[in-house]
């Protein structure tokens, strides 16, 4: 009886323990002699045919260049990517390679010590990159990712064929732009195509550039730390420009109901004279618009405001995204991870991406075969003065206050002064910069 009971107990214990034993099986890695296997969390929109095709071309180039480094990819895009990244970081289970932002977007993760400072890898190749891309990303000069590009978040894409058709020139001032509204609408076109259902577009692609004009980098630096306030004229005036344009029916109808991409489609279909969006839209415009359109679409900044006390004629720039590596990687695995990071942002990957309409952060001669739109983007990024992108320097949670406030302001529920006060109240109480 005793033996039987003991046998049953041992059997039960084995049954209970079995799943846990096998759950630990991930730790074993079957790698060939020379092949290094890395895990990676990639940021790719697999529902977008253009993006997916471009990504596959890039991976083909990588596999050809580094046959002995195998990367096991998991892909996510948008908020699900950030949720997964944060969850993995909290659980201390970051993959070997992760896609990162240079500013506060992934600041919690990079600031957690779980991502390696790759300064020692970056330093020897830093002079290969545009200076704007090689700006330290941590408080003590750390680099967590190598930017693939320098991103202009504000470009006023202009369809000059439509302007000619309507007998108009690109406006020099806000007043001139407003005066074009009736002419453009009467002809059945949208003056400024823009979509803002998600809220970030108005802040990132427009308000940031407006604040750069009214206050410049110095004012935003002061506002971040509390030496200036978001209730100052610099910020309120920028918000007022948005309100003025909305009230004058200059934006796409239903701008705050439109999903991101509707404005791009309207512009690509030549239903809108201007499109306000980020420079990253270039590769999609190249694919969506007929080739002759590449010649008559120009890259402009928003016309002059009456009170440009900051950086006149400015856009907003931010160092781009790129890949970083898990802080636990050492030796050959760390070197292999760097090979991907450098391939993705460096000359080899950039040469592939340039043909797809991406403007790389690495200094390189653009191929002769690229679209004139990409050449314009390159000139735009290199020559236009630039301020900060607000959500790259302020806490992301505050955007959850600012974005709805801008939408409410457009609907007329609150004034620009009230919208500014609402954001300042949140920043004063919560923003980590204060």
Binding site for another protein (CB under 8 A): 9, 12, 16, 79, 82-83, 86, 89-90, 108, 112, 185, 188, 196-199, 249, 252-259, 262, 265-266, 396-397, 400, 404-405, 407-408, 411, 413
DSSP symbols for 272-322: EEEEEE-GGGHHHHHHHS-TTHHHHEEEE-PPBPS---SSTT-EEEEE--E
The tokens of 224 are what?
């971040």
- CB of 39 vs another protein, minimal distance in Å: 21
* H-type alpha helices, 91-142: 107-110, 119-122
Query: Judged by CB, which is closer to another protein: 254, or 306?
Result: 254
- CB of 262 vs another protein, minimal distance in Å: 5
- CB of 14 vs another protein, minimal distance in Å: 13
DSSP symbols for 329-398: --HHHHHHHHHHHHHHHSHHHHHHHHHTT---SB--PPPTTS-HHHHHHHHHHHHS-EE--HHHHS-HHH
Do strands 272-277 and 190-193 pair parallel, antiparallel, or not at all (unpaired)?
parallel
- CB of 364 vs another protein, minimal distance in Å: 36
Give the closest residue to 250 by CA, choosing from 313, 212, 302. 302
| Cα–Cα–Cα angle for 97, 103, 106, rounded to 5 degrees | 45
- CB of 361 vs another protein, minimal distance in Å: 27
Rounded to whole angstroms, the Cα distance separating 116 from 106 reads 14
Query: Judged by CB, which is closer to another protein: 30, or 91?
Result: 91
- CB of 246 vs another protein, minimal distance in Å: 11
The tokens of 350 are what?
């950039």
- CB of 249 vs another protein, minimal distance in Å: 6
Q: Are the CB atoms for 171 and 350 separated by under 8 Å?
A: no
- CB of 351 vs another protein, minimal distance in Å: 36
Query: Judged by CB, which is closer to another protein: 110, or 378?
Result: 110
Query: Judged by CB, which is closer to another protein: 232, or 262?
Result: 262
User: How many Cα atoms within 13 Å fall on the side-chain side of residue 279?
Assistant: 31
Q: Sheet containing 322-325: which strands, arranged edge to edge?
A: 69-76, 36-43, 97-100, 322-325
Residue showing tokens 């952060």: 361
Rounded to whole angstroms, the Cα distance separating 431 from 434 reads 6
């Amino acid at each position: 009886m005793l033996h039987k009971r003991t046998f049953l107990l041992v059997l039960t214990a084995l049954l209970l323990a079995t799943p846990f034993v096998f759950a630990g099986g991930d730790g074993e890695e079957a790698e060939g002699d020379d092949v290094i296997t890395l895990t990676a969390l990639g940021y790719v929109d697999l529902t977008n045919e253009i993006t997916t095709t471009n990504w596959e071309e890039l991976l083909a180039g990588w596999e050809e260049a580094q046959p002995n480094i195998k990367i096991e990819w998991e892909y996510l895009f948008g908020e699900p990517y950030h949720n997964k990244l944060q969850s993995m970081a909290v659980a201390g289970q970051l993959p070997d390679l992760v896609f990162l932002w240079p500013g506060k977007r992934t600041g919690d993760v990079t600031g957690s010590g779980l991502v390696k400072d790759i300064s020692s890898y970056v330093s020897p190749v830093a002079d290969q990159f545009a200076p704007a891309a090689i700006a330290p990303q941590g408080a003590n000069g750390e680099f967590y990712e190598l930017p693939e590009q320098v991103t202009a978040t504000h470009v006023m894409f202009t369809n000059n064929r439509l302007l000619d058709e309507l007998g108009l020139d690109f406006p020099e001032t806000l007043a001139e732009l407003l005066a074009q509204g009736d002419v453009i609408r009467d002809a059945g076109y949208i003056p400024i195509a823009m979509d803002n259902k998600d809220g970030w577009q108005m802040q990132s692609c427009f308000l940031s550039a407006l604040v750069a004009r009214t206050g410049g980098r110095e004012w935003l630096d002061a506002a971040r730390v509390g030496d200036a306030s978001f209730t100052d004229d610099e910020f309120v005036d920028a918000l007022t420009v948005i309100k003025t344009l909305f009230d004058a029916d200059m934006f796409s109808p239903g701008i705050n109901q439109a999903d991101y991409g509707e404005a791009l489609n309207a512009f690509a279909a030549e239903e809108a004279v201007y499109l306000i969006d980020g420079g990253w839209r270039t590769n999609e415009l190249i694919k969506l618009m007929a080739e002759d359109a590449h010649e008559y679409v120009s890259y402009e900044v928003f016309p002059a405001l009456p009170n440009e006390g900051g950086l006149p004629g400015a856009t907003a720039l931010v160092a781009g995204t790129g890949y970083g590596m898990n802080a636990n990687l050492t030796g050959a695995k760390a070197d292999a991870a760097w090979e991907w990071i450098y391939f993705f942002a460096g000359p080899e990957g950039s040469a592939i991406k340039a043909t797809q309409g991406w403007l790389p952060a690495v200094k390189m001669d653009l191929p002769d075969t690229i679209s004139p739109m990409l050449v314009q983007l390159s000139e735009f990024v290199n020559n236009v003065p630039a301020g900060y992108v607000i959500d790259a320097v302020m806490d992301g949670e505050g955007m959850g206050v600012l974005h709805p406030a801008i939408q409410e302001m457009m609907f007329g529920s609150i004034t620009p002064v009230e919208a500014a006060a609402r954001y300042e109240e949140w920043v004063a109480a919560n923003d980590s910069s204060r």
